[in-house]
């Protein structure tokens, strides 16, 4: 008997069958079935009754549920203690991220994490919608996912950590009508040339609201890559409406940033699988929780 077999046993119970458990564990169903057959042979008892294409937990299997869970919890505690004592040494954390959260809070998170764990590599994978982030995490391609959405997300089977809400701001080249730090209203952008993202994003919907009606405001360019927006602003092509995550970078590059009132907010969250995270991913998630608590107090 080994911990993997117990993990498989519990997954079959929790997911209601072999096929769903295999999908959740990202293993082939024949491998899962063989592991259970070996466990039942080692124990000398049947853990499941096969009924048609499904399975029903046997009375013996029911009795073994809590001991199995206790064993896995104890093993997890051993691993956590060892990691805490030895520190994280090596390895890679895969994080899926959308563009704006990928500027902030991801920059702060990676900066602080690599200071604490310099031998661990943080690898980011680009995603452009919340659904893409969720899919990458659910599939196991990434352990963690950082997303921004118009409304809070609640994907089934994943843990969701709310990190912060980012209001939208106007970013413009210096020397124009927009003053740095001076709050403006959407109607104050009448006559401005706007740089926008493709339709479907919250950022684009705000721009569409601003350009609606006979205000003389127009979209002069539409970009797929958000990294193109700030250079376009600085060269005077137009102004952009961006989440406040861009504020510090924009000002360091010489742009002016003005808050908008009223405005929508980008809901930034970290999603993760509830189990099977590496020590590095758990440490990164703990750091994210700490950052979220601090920002909620600000």
pLDDT interval class at 77 (50, 70, 90): low
pLDDT of residue 85 exceeding 70: no
Q: Are 166 and 248 in contact (CB under 8 A)?
A: no
Distance CA 136, CA 158 (A): 12
Q: Are 169 and 241 in contact (CB under 8 A)?
A: yes
Annotate 150-173 with b (16+ C-beta within 10 A) or e (fewer): eeebebeebebbebbbbebbbbbb
pLDDT value for 87: 59
Distance CA 202, CA 98 (A): 13
Q: Where are the alpha helices (DSSP H) in 87-125?
A: 99-103, 106-116
pLDDT value for 3: 85
User: Which of 268 and 14 is assigned the larger pLDDT?
Assistant: 268
Q: Are 165 and 244 in contact (CB under 8 A)?
A: no
Residue range 127-142, pLDDT digits in tens:
989 999 999 998 888 8
Q: Are strands 265-272 and 144-149 parallel, antiparallel or unpaired?
A: antiparallel
Tokens linked to 136: 């990458």
Residue range 250-290, pLDDT digits in tens:
999 999 999 999 988 999 999 998 877 888 888 999 999 99
pLDDT interval class at 80 (50, 70, 90): low
pTM score, two decimals? 0.67
pLDDT of residue 84 exceeding 80: no
Q: Are 247 and 142 in contact (CB under 8 A)?
A: no
Q: Exposed, middle or buried, 295 (CB in 10 Å: 0-12/13-18/19+)?
A: middle
Tokens linked to 77: 């505690």
């Amino acid at each position: 008997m080994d911990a993997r077999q117990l993990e498989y046993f519990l997954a079959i119970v929790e997911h209601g069958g072999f096929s769903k458990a295999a999908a959740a564990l990202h293993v082939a169903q024949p491998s899962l079935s063989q592991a259970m057959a070996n466990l039942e042979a080692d124990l000398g008892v049947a853990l499941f009754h096969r009924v048609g294409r499904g399975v029903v937990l046997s009375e013996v299997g029911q009795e073994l549920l809590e001991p199995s869970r206790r064993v896995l919890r104890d093993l997890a505690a051993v691993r956590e203690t060892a990691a805490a004592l030895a520190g994280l040494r090596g390895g890679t954390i895969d994080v899926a991220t959308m563009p704006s959260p990928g500027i902030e809070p991801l920059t702060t998170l990676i900066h602080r994490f690599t200071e604490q764990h310099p031998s661990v590599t943080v690898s980011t994978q680009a995603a452009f919608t919340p659904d893409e982030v969720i899919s990458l995490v659910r599939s196991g391609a990434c352990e963690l996912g950082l997303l921004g959405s118009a409304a809070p997300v609640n994907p089934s089977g994943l843990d969701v950590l709310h990190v912060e809400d980012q209001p939208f701001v106007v970013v413009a080249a210096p020397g124009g009508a927009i003053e740095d730090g001076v709050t403006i209203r959407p109607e104050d952008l009448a006559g401005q040339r706007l740089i926008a993202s493709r339709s479907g994003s919250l950022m684009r919907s705000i721009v569409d609201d601003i350009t609606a009606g006979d205000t003389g405001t127009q979209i002069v360019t539409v970009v797929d890559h958000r990294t193109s927006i700030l250079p376009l602003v600085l060269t005077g092509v137009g102004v952009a409406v961006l989440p406040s995550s861009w504020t510090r970078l924009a000002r360091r590059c010489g742009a002016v940033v003005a808050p908008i009132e009223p405005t929508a907010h980008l809901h930034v969250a970290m999603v993760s699988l509830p189990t099977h995270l590496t020590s590095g991913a758990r440490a990164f998630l703990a750091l994210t929780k700490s950052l979220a608590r601090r920002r909620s107090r600000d």
